[in-house]
Structure 1
Amino acid sequence: MELKKGLEDVAIKETSITFIDGELGRLYYRGYSVYDLASFSNFEEVAYLIWYGKLPTRKELEDFRKLMAEERKVPDHISSFVRQVSRNANPMDVLRTAVSMMGLEDSRDGDTIQKAIKITSKMPTIVAQIQRTRRGQDLVEPDPNLSHAENFLFMLHGEKPSSTDVRSMDVSLTLHVDHEMNASTFACLVVASTLSDIYSSVVAGISALKGPLHGGANSEALKQFLEIGSPDNVEKYVLSRLSSGQRLMGFGHRVYKTMDPRAKILREYAKQLSTEKGLGELFEIAQRVEEIGIKILGNRGIYPNVDFYSGLVFYALGFDPDVFPTIFASARVVGWTAHVDEYLKDNKLIRPKAIYVGDLGRRYVPIDER
């Protein structure tokens, strides 16, 4: 039996949701390039595409937006829970528990996608509540008249965001919607394959995404830029970090052997936001890290990934660094639930093997003789 550590290059299902060309740095949702979707589409339309397999008509999109807007409000007892625990708890732990609480009130029976819409609509409300509670601010109720991205920022800041901020947020969410069989998506499928409920699957996804090697990498990349402090310090910092065997945060990907297309797109939004928000030097640091990092690591197929610039975008939009992974989860829940729905149409319990390397036939020794 061949050992495949990390299940690298092991396929567990067929999918029509997402395709990644790691050699050429291309990413497609339902056959559409993310470059086109980031340029011409929006989060709601992409969520509809991911869940239903086609782009909506104008009427379908209007009805879908209205449905999502109606589902944004979070039950009072969940908001109370968020206010009670958010100040000191890890934001991903709070989000995970809040989603689990949502599942207590929803029947296990029913359409997976309808439940996915409920979860996806409510998660930004919970995330905004987490950050505002941590800052000692009153909670802001969702506005059904705003788009998904605009309402997210409105609940975060308590005021209507600029068009640049809304577009940056919308594109960021769109680019995080799905990424084929990553660790958190696989975690969702393991749970779903037992015929558990969709809330349990999403909780598993959040738990996997919490790790610094997955969803936590965006905040670590941003902290890295803040730690460097000045463009003049970049080269020394990068060389020191790599020579000591440490990773350059935001670099490298299991699938991509060239630059992540999502990083290319987000770089432009990071540049625009940084200029508008007075964070130009921070963007200059990031650009310099990218240049030096590629020069050193590029010949090994190690390039910036989505986390490299997404943290800078989220920071410029006013999110606290330790809240970044919850934004990631708020978008990726679309892909998680779509993959669960797809997998359950031809379900098989996920039960891999392990290669035993221990002893056999050991004699049991009574406890007084050990």
Structure 2
Amino acid sequence: MAPIAPSAPKLAAQTPAPGLDDVIAAETRLSHVDGQAGKLIIAGYHLQQLAHWRFEQVLELLWRDLAQPPLTAEEIGKALGKARVTAFSLMQPLLAGIRTLSPVEALRLLLSALPDDAAEPHHVLAVASVPVFTAAIVRQARGLAPVSPNASCSQAEDFLRMLGDANPDDDKVKALDTYLVTVSDHGLNASTFTARVIASTKAGMFSSVVGGLCALKGPLHGGAPGPVLDMLDDIGDETRIEPWLAAALDRGERLMGFGHRIYRVRDPRADVLKGAVSALKDGSGRIAFAGKVETAALHLLKERKPLRPLQTNVEFYTALVLEAVGFPRDSFTNVFAAGRMAGWTAHVLEQDQTGRLIRPQSCYVGTMPS
């Protein structure tokens, strides 16, 4: 399968722009987001081409030419298995300290404890740790003991096994694999940019990805999939779909799972995840209901806001996938981080190769001294 070269990006803005819109701050070979065409390219491949890849294969693609020594997907799988065992041992003394924290706060604490002198390759340990920590956080909230990793499992399989303390169904492993691949990288988003800025100071891999997680914690970036399920629960049944949506729009509320800062058309990740959740053996009633909500919402948004491109985004089907494979909605940001850690680590490695401190200028608008 031949890689696809992305189209040329826009030229950098020459004047200050709110939110740094259209300002180019880095060169990368890792991913390209074409919001006008609704395309996501990851390391030379359209997202749709990667939809059936395993997470380890995408890690090989992202880490290629950046991490030493170079590893095949099979070698990465073995390294991740070993690193999950390491992460589990590092986590054990800290579990008591996370009991009162939210899932993302607990993950932040545990990632912060990864030692800079760790013998494991830091990019591997960072990626391996998130499923271990997240599964333990969820289980502790349920009053259950953490489940130790199985180094012979794939990342997605072991994630679900540690979550439920049982061998997961193959279709659920496949759905989670597709999710991790789909969210693995997405241009210079807020968390990735944060990770690159920290990496440029030579603070190290773990500090950089913890910074990425702190940015992802913000509700404008990584915290929205859970409310999609809240919306579906509140609607309740098919007779209430259009009245509920119309009333929400009348109140000036945002419909969760629709609209995106970058995409002017449908988010390509939504279709990939729709395919993943549709392939699951159970949950068809929930999925069919969500599909009717989506159809009605798109109709109403086009009718009410004809000048705004409000299409289905990644959050809508993320919520359905993660619910179907067994994650509680308050852990969704952590699972997002498990996938995006692939991109964060790759961007940190890429930034390290530049050797350049990121230090943009600001435009002073205050008063001048007399």
Q: Which category of TM-score, normalised to the shorter sequence, fits these structures?
A: 0.7 to 0.9
Q: Tell me what 2:333 maps to.
A: 325
Matched letter for residue 83 of structure 2: E
Q: Deviations over 1:31-61 (max 9, x none)?
A: 111111113x11100111111159xxxx933
Does 2:325 match 1:313? no
- Paired residues of 2:90 and 2:114 also in contact (CA < 8 A): no
Residue 167 (structure 1) aligned to one of 174, 178, 182: 174
Counting only pairs closer than 5 Å after superposition, residues 20-169 of structure 1 correspond to structure 2 as 20-39=33-52, 41-52=53-64, 60-73=72-85, 74-76=87-89, 78-86=91-99, 88-103=100-115, 105-106=117-118, 114-169=121-176
Matched letter for residue 141 of structure 1: S
Q: CA deviation at 1:293?
A: 5.1
- Paired residues of 1:231 and 1:284 also in contact (CA < 8 A): no
- Paired residues of 1:173 and 1:328 also in contact (CA < 8 A): yes
Unmatched segments (≥5 aa) in structure 2: 1-13
Q: CA deviation at 1:217?
A: 1.2
With over 3 angstroms needed to count, the CA separation of the structure-2 counterparts of 1:83 and 1:150, relative to structure 1, is farther
Matched letter for residue 201 of structure 1: S
Residue 214 (structure 1) aligned to one of 207, 213, 221: 221
Determine what percentage of the aligned residue pairs are the same residue. Answer: 35
Q: CA deviation at 1:255?
A: 1.6
Matched letter for residue 332 of structure 2: F
Whose helix fraction is larger, Structure 1's or Structure 2's?
1
- What is the distance in 2 between the residues matched to 1:37 and 1:153? 21
Q: CA deviation at 1:219?
A: 1.4
Matched letter for residue 212 of structure 1: P
- What is the distance in 2 between the residues matched to 1:173 and 1:306? 12
- Paired residues of 1:194 and 1:349 also in contact (CA < 8 A): yes
Matched letter for residue 76 of structure 2: F
With over 3 angstroms needed to count, the CA separation of the structure-2 counterparts of 1:352 and 1:243, relative to structure 1, is farther
Matched letter for residue 283 of structure 1: A
- What is the distance in 2 between the residues matched to 1:298 and 1:199? 45
- What is the distance in 1 between the residues matched to 2:232 and 2:154? 31
Q: Tell me what 1:367 maps to.
A: none
Moved more, 77-86 or 320-329: 77-86
Q: CA deviation at 1:80?
A: 3.6
Matched letter for residue 202 of structure 2: L
Does 2:211 match 1:204? yes
SS at 1:273 equivalent: coil
RMSD over aligned Cα atoms: 2.3
Q: Tell me what 2:248 maps to.
A: 241
- What is the distance in 2 between the residues matched to 1:167 and 1:298? 37
- Paired residues of 1:184 and 1:204 also in contact (CA < 8 A): yes
- What is the distance in 2 between the residues matched to 1:291 and 1:311? 18
Does 2:19 match 1:19? no
- What is the distance in 1 between the residues matched to 2:298 and 2:177? 27
Matched letter for residue 354 of structure 1: S
SS at 1:348 equivalent: coil
SS at 1:160 equivalent: coil
Does 2:203 match 1:180? no
Q: CA deviation at 1:330?
A: 0.8
- What is the distance in 2 between the residues matched to 1:325 and 1:68? 21
TM-score for the superposition, normalised by structure 2: 0.88
* Count, aligned residues: 351
Q: Tell me what 1:225 maps to.
A: 232
Q: Deviations over 1:247-304 (max 9, x none)?
A: 2222222221111111011112233438447534653454345433553456522211
- Paired residues of 1:277 and 1:316 also in contact (CA < 8 A): no
With over 3 angstroms needed to count, the CA separation of the structure-2 counterparts of 1:327 and 1:209, relative to structure 1, is same
TM-score for the superposition, normalised by structure 1: 0.88
SS at 1:150 equivalent: helix
- What is the distance in 2 between the residues matched to 1:13 and 1:229? 45
With over 3 angstroms needed to count, the CA separation of the structure-2 counterparts of 1:289 and 1:199, relative to structure 1, is farther
Q: CA deviation at 1:316?
A: 1.1
With over 3 angstroms needed to count, the CA separation of the structure-2 counterparts of 1:104 and 1:302, relative to structure 1, is same
SS at 1:28 equivalent: strand
Q: CA deviation at 1:105?
A: 4.8
Moved more, 62-71 or 9-18: 62-71
With over 3 angstroms needed to count, the CA separation of the structure-2 counterparts of 1:289 and 1:216, relative to structure 1, is farther
SS at 1:20 equivalent: strand
Residue 351 (structure 1) aligned to one of 355, 359, 363: 359
- What is the distance in 1 between the residues matched to 2:49 and 2:307? 29
Moved more, 138-147 or 180-189: 138-147
Q: CA deviation at 1:180?
A: 0.8
With over 3 angstroms needed to count, the CA separation of the structure-2 counterparts of 1:52 and 1:298, relative to structure 1, is farther
Unmatched segments (≥5 aa) in structure 1: 363-370
Matched letter for residue 48 of structure 2: Y
Q: Deviations over 1:118-171 (max 9, x none)?
A: 110121010000000001112111112211111110000011111110110100
Does 2:350 match 1:337? no
- What is the distance in 2 between the residues matched to 1:308 and 1:79? 35
- What is the distance in 1 between the residues matched to 2:163 and 2:306? 38
